Protein backbone atom coordinates (compact mmCIF):
# COMPACT_ATOMS: atom_id res chain seq x y z
CA UNK A 1 0.00 0.00 0.00
CA UNK A 2 1.16 3.47 -0.79
CA UNK A 3 1.61 6.20 1.78
CA UNK A 4 -1.70 7.85 0.90
CA UNK A 5 -3.90 4.76 1.04
CA UNK A 6 -2.53 3.48 4.31
CA UNK A 7 -3.41 6.77 5.99
CA UNK A 8 -5.82 9.23 4.41
CA UNK A 9 -3.87 12.43 3.95
CA UNK A 10 -4.26 14.96 6.71
CA UNK A 11 -5.97 18.14 5.62
CA UNK A 12 -7.28 21.34 6.97
CA UNK A 13 -10.75 21.81 5.62
CA UNK A 14 -11.62 25.44 5.22
CA UNK A 15 -13.91 27.87 3.51
CA UNK A 16 -13.48 31.16 1.72
CA UNK A 17 -16.52 33.45 1.51
CA UNK A 18 -16.36 36.22 -1.05
CA UNK A 19 -18.48 38.99 0.42
CA UNK A 20 -18.28 40.93 -2.82
CA UNK A 21 -20.22 38.10 -4.44
CA UNK A 22 -22.65 37.31 -1.62
CA UNK A 23 -26.10 38.72 -2.28
CA UNK A 24 -27.47 37.76 1.11
CA UNK A 25 -30.16 35.58 -0.48
CA UNK A 26 -30.19 33.09 2.36
CA UNK A 27 -30.05 29.93 0.23
CA UNK A 28 -27.18 28.70 2.41
CA UNK A 29 -29.29 29.14 5.53
CA UNK A 30 -32.16 27.10 4.12
CA UNK A 31 -29.92 24.39 2.69
CA UNK A 32 -28.09 24.04 5.99
CA UNK A 33 -31.28 23.73 7.98
CA UNK A 34 -32.57 20.96 5.72
CA UNK A 35 -29.27 19.13 5.47
CA UNK A 36 -28.57 19.13 9.18
CA UNK A 37 -32.08 18.74 10.60
CA UNK A 38 -31.81 22.04 12.42
CA UNK A 39 -35.23 22.48 14.01
CA UNK A 40 -37.60 25.40 13.72
CA UNK A 41 -38.42 27.14 16.99
CA UNK A 42 -41.67 28.61 18.23
CA UNK A 43 -42.44 32.31 17.79
CA UNK A 44 -42.01 32.76 21.50
CA UNK A 45 -38.53 31.26 21.44
CA UNK A 46 -37.65 33.24 18.36
CA UNK A 47 -38.54 36.45 20.19
CA UNK A 48 -36.35 35.43 23.12
CA UNK A 49 -33.42 35.08 20.74
CA UNK A 50 -33.46 31.29 20.64
CA UNK A 51 -33.58 30.95 16.88
CA UNK A 52 -31.64 27.89 15.76
CA UNK A 53 -29.39 28.24 12.74
CA UNK A 54 -25.98 26.81 12.02
CA UNK A 55 -25.36 29.55 9.48
CA UNK A 56 -26.94 32.97 9.48
CA UNK A 57 -26.59 36.01 7.26
CA UNK A 58 -25.88 39.24 9.08
CA UNK A 59 -26.83 42.38 7.22
CA UNK A 60 -25.34 45.78 7.71
CA UNK A 61 -26.52 48.98 6.10
CA UNK A 62 -24.28 50.07 3.29
CA UNK A 63 -23.31 53.72 3.45
CA UNK A 64 -23.07 54.20 -0.31
CA UNK A 65 -25.85 54.09 -2.85
CA UNK A 66 -25.42 50.84 -4.82
CA UNK A 67 -22.58 50.10 -2.46
CA UNK A 68 -21.07 46.65 -2.15
CA UNK A 69 -23.12 43.87 -0.61
CA UNK A 70 -23.46 44.25 3.08
CA UNK A 71 -24.45 40.67 3.75
CA UNK A 72 -22.18 38.59 5.95
CA UNK A 73 -22.75 34.85 6.31
CA UNK A 74 -21.62 33.62 9.72
CA UNK A 75 -21.10 29.97 10.63
CA UNK A 76 -18.78 28.06 12.94
CA UNK A 77 -15.34 29.18 11.83
CA UNK A 78 -13.66 25.92 12.88
CA UNK A 79 -10.87 27.76 14.63
CA UNK A 80 -7.45 26.20 14.90
CA UNK A 81 -7.30 27.54 18.44
CA UNK A 82 -10.96 27.66 19.50
CA UNK A 83 -11.97 29.31 22.76
CA UNK A 84 -15.06 27.07 22.98
CA UNK A 85 -13.23 23.75 23.26
CA UNK A 86 -11.02 24.99 26.08
CA UNK A 87 -13.94 25.55 28.40
CA UNK A 88 -15.78 22.30 27.70
CA UNK A 89 -15.55 20.30 30.92
CA UNK A 90 -16.37 16.96 29.26
CA UNK A 91 -14.51 16.95 25.93
CA UNK A 92 -17.77 17.08 23.97
CA UNK A 93 -16.39 19.81 21.73
CA UNK A 94 -12.83 19.60 20.52
CA UNK A 95 -10.63 20.00 17.46
CA UNK A 96 -11.06 16.80 15.52
CA UNK A 97 -9.88 15.25 12.29
CA UNK A 98 -8.59 17.63 9.62
CA UNK A 99 -9.25 20.65 11.84
CA UNK A 100 -13.01 20.17 12.10
CA UNK A 101 -14.33 21.34 15.45
CA UNK A 102 -16.52 18.47 16.59
CA UNK A 103 -19.59 18.53 18.79
CA UNK A 104 -20.35 15.07 20.21
CA UNK A 105 -24.00 15.32 21.25
CA UNK A 106 -24.28 12.29 23.55
CA UNK A 107 -21.30 13.60 25.49
CA UNK A 108 -22.65 17.15 25.89
CA UNK A 109 -24.05 17.97 29.32
CA UNK A 110 -25.63 21.25 28.22
CA UNK A 111 -23.64 23.56 30.46
CA UNK A 112 -23.33 26.04 27.56
CA UNK A 113 -19.89 27.29 28.61
CA UNK A 114 -18.82 26.85 24.99
CA UNK A 115 -21.62 29.10 23.80
CA UNK A 116 -20.43 31.81 26.12
CA UNK A 117 -16.83 31.39 25.06
CA UNK A 118 -17.44 31.54 21.32
CA UNK A 119 -16.69 35.09 20.14
CA UNK A 120 -18.71 34.51 16.97
CA UNK A 121 -21.88 33.37 18.77
CA UNK A 122 -22.42 30.47 16.37
CA UNK A 123 -23.37 27.80 18.87
CA UNK A 124 -27.01 27.16 19.69
CA UNK A 125 -28.75 25.30 22.47
CA UNK A 126 -31.67 22.89 22.25
CA UNK A 127 -34.10 24.29 24.77
CA UNK A 128 -36.72 21.75 23.77
CA UNK A 129 -37.01 18.33 22.20
CA UNK A 130 -36.83 19.09 18.46
CA UNK A 131 -40.24 19.31 16.85
CA UNK A 132 -41.33 18.91 13.27
CA UNK A 133 -44.65 18.56 11.62
CA UNK A 134 -45.01 14.86 10.89
CA UNK A 135 -44.43 15.31 7.20
CA UNK A 136 -41.24 17.28 7.69
CA UNK A 137 -39.97 14.77 10.21
CA UNK A 138 -40.30 12.03 7.60
CA UNK A 139 -38.00 14.07 5.40
CA UNK A 140 -35.24 14.70 7.88
CA UNK A 141 -31.78 13.72 6.69
CA UNK A 142 -31.04 10.18 7.95
CA UNK A 143 -27.30 10.88 7.89
CA UNK A 144 -27.59 13.42 10.68
CA UNK A 145 -29.05 12.59 14.09
CA UNK A 146 -31.84 14.59 15.67
CA UNK A 147 -30.32 16.26 18.67
CA UNK A 148 -32.04 15.77 21.99
CA UNK A 149 -33.12 18.52 24.33
CA UNK A 150 -30.34 19.97 26.42
CA UNK A 151 -27.34 19.81 24.11
CA UNK A 152 -25.39 22.45 22.24
CA UNK A 153 -25.06 22.19 18.49
CA UNK A 154 -23.40 24.06 15.65
CA UNK A 155 -22.08 23.80 12.11
CA UNK A 156 -19.94 20.71 11.59
CA UNK A 157 -18.81 21.57 8.02
CA UNK A 158 -21.32 18.79 7.16
CA UNK A 159 -18.88 16.25 8.62
CA UNK A 160 -21.34 13.43 7.85
CA UNK A 161 -20.47 14.11 4.22
CA UNK A 162 -16.79 13.72 5.08
CA UNK A 163 -17.58 10.35 6.69
CA UNK A 164 -19.10 9.11 3.45
CA UNK A 165 -16.36 10.64 1.34
CA UNK A 166 -13.73 8.85 3.41
CA UNK A 167 -15.62 5.56 3.07
CA UNK A 168 -15.81 6.05 -0.70
CA UNK A 169 -12.12 6.83 -0.89
CA UNK A 170 -11.01 3.96 1.36
CA UNK A 171 -13.12 1.44 -0.56
CA UNK A 172 -11.53 2.61 -3.80
CA UNK A 173 -8.00 2.75 -2.27
CA UNK A 174 -7.53 6.41 -3.01
CA UNK A 175 -7.44 9.71 -1.16
CA UNK A 176 -10.40 12.03 -0.55
CA UNK A 177 -10.61 14.66 -3.28
CA UNK A 178 -12.00 18.13 -2.63
CA UNK A 179 -14.84 17.37 -5.03
CA UNK A 180 -15.89 14.39 -2.87
CA UNK A 181 -16.60 16.57 0.11
CA UNK A 182 -18.47 19.86 -0.09
CA UNK A 183 -20.81 21.22 2.60
CA UNK A 184 -24.45 21.86 1.67
CA UNK A 185 -24.19 25.67 1.93
CA UNK A 186 -21.30 25.80 -0.51
CA UNK A 187 -23.05 23.50 -2.94
CA UNK A 188 -26.21 25.55 -3.00
CA UNK A 189 -24.83 29.12 -3.16
CA UNK A 190 -26.20 30.57 -6.42
CA UNK A 191 -23.66 33.39 -6.42
CA UNK A 192 -20.75 30.97 -5.93
CA UNK A 193 -19.63 33.16 -3.06
CA UNK A 194 -18.40 30.19 -1.04
CA UNK A 195 -15.44 27.93 -1.83
CA UNK A 196 -14.49 24.91 0.25
CA UNK A 197 -11.31 22.89 0.24
CA UNK A 198 -7.98 22.05 1.82
CA UNK A 199 -6.18 25.06 3.27
CA UNK A 200 -3.10 22.94 3.81
CA UNK A 201 -2.74 22.23 0.11
CA UNK A 202 -0.94 25.27 -1.35
CA UNK A 203 -2.40 24.59 -4.79
CA UNK A 204 -6.05 24.44 -3.74
CA UNK A 205 -8.50 27.20 -4.67
CA UNK A 206 -9.14 28.03 -1.03
CA UNK A 207 -5.43 28.46 -0.32
CA UNK A 208 -4.85 30.82 -3.21
CA UNK A 209 -7.96 32.81 -2.32
CA UNK A 210 -6.83 32.95 1.31
CA UNK A 211 -3.66 34.66 0.13
CA UNK A 212 -5.66 37.36 -1.68
CA UNK A 213 -5.11 40.95 -0.49
CA UNK A 214 -8.88 41.11 -0.02
CA UNK A 215 -8.80 38.37 2.63
CA UNK A 216 -9.40 38.75 6.33
CA UNK A 217 -10.48 36.56 9.21
CA UNK A 218 -13.25 37.57 11.57
CA UNK A 219 -11.94 39.22 14.78
CA UNK A 220 -8.46 38.31 13.62
CA UNK A 221 -6.86 39.93 16.65
CA UNK A 222 -8.23 37.22 18.96
CA UNK A 223 -5.80 34.70 17.53
CA UNK A 224 -8.43 32.00 17.10
CA UNK A 225 -7.07 31.14 13.63
CA UNK A 226 -10.40 30.47 11.91
CA UNK A 227 -10.69 28.11 8.94
CA UNK A 228 -13.29 30.40 7.42
CA UNK A 229 -11.78 33.31 5.56
CA UNK A 230 -13.65 36.30 4.18
CA UNK A 231 -12.84 38.32 1.07
CA UNK A 232 -13.91 41.92 0.79
CA UNK A 233 -12.77 44.88 -1.23
CA UNK A 234 -13.68 47.70 1.16
CA UNK A 235 -14.42 47.47 4.85
CA UNK A 236 -12.23 44.93 6.55
CA UNK A 237 -14.42 44.42 9.61
CA UNK A 238 -18.01 43.66 10.40
Partner 1 sequence: MSTHFVFLATCLLGAVLPTSLHAASPQQPIAYNHNLHVSELEIPCTECHIGAESADHATLPPKEICATCHEDGPIGESDEEAKLIEFIEGPDPIEWIRLTRVSEHVHFSHRRHVKAGQLLCERCHGQMAEHEVPITRPAISFRREIGMQRCIACHKESGNARATVDCVLCHR
Q: Which residues of this protein are in contact with ligand HEC, per CB under 6 A?
A: 91, 104, 106-107, 166, 170
Q: Is 131 in the site for partner 1 (CB under 8 A)?
A: no
The residues in 3-32 that bind partner 1, with binding defined as CB under 8 A, are: 6-8
Q: According to CB under 8 A, which one of 12, 50, 107, 112 is a site residue for partner 1?
A: 107
Pairing type for strands 152-153 and 13-18 reads unpaired
166 burial type by CB count under 10 A (0-12 exposed, 13-18 middle, 19+ buried): middle
**Which residue, 68 or 150, is less far from ligand HEC as judged by CB?**
150
Contacted entry of ligand HEC, partner 1, none for residue 156, CB cut-off 5 to 8 Å set by kind: partner 1
**Shorter beta-carbon distance to partner 1: residue 8 or 238:** 8
Residue 165 contacts residue 176 (beta carbons within 8 Å): yes
Give the nearer residue to partner 1 in terms of CB position, either 72 or 181: 181
Binders of partner 1 in range 158-177 (CB under 8 A): 159-160, 162-163, 166-167, 170-171, 173
Cβ–Cβ under 8 Å, residues 215 and 209: yes
Q: How far is the CB of 81 from ligand HEC (least distance, A)?
A: 19
Give the angle 38-44-46 at the CA atoms, nearest 5°: 45
- Tell me: does residue 34 bind partner 1 (CB under 8 A): no
Q: Interface with partner 1 by CB under 8 A: which residues?
A: 6-8, 94, 96-97, 100, 102, 104-107, 142-146, 156, 159-160, 162-163, 166-167, 170-171, 173
Amino acid sequence: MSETTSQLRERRWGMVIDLDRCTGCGACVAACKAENNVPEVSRRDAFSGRVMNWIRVAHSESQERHGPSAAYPILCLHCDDPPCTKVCPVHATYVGVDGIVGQTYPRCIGCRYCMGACPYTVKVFNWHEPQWESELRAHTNPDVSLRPKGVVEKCTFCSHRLQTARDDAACESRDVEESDYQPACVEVCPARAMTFGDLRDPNSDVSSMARSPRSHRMLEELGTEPSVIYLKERERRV
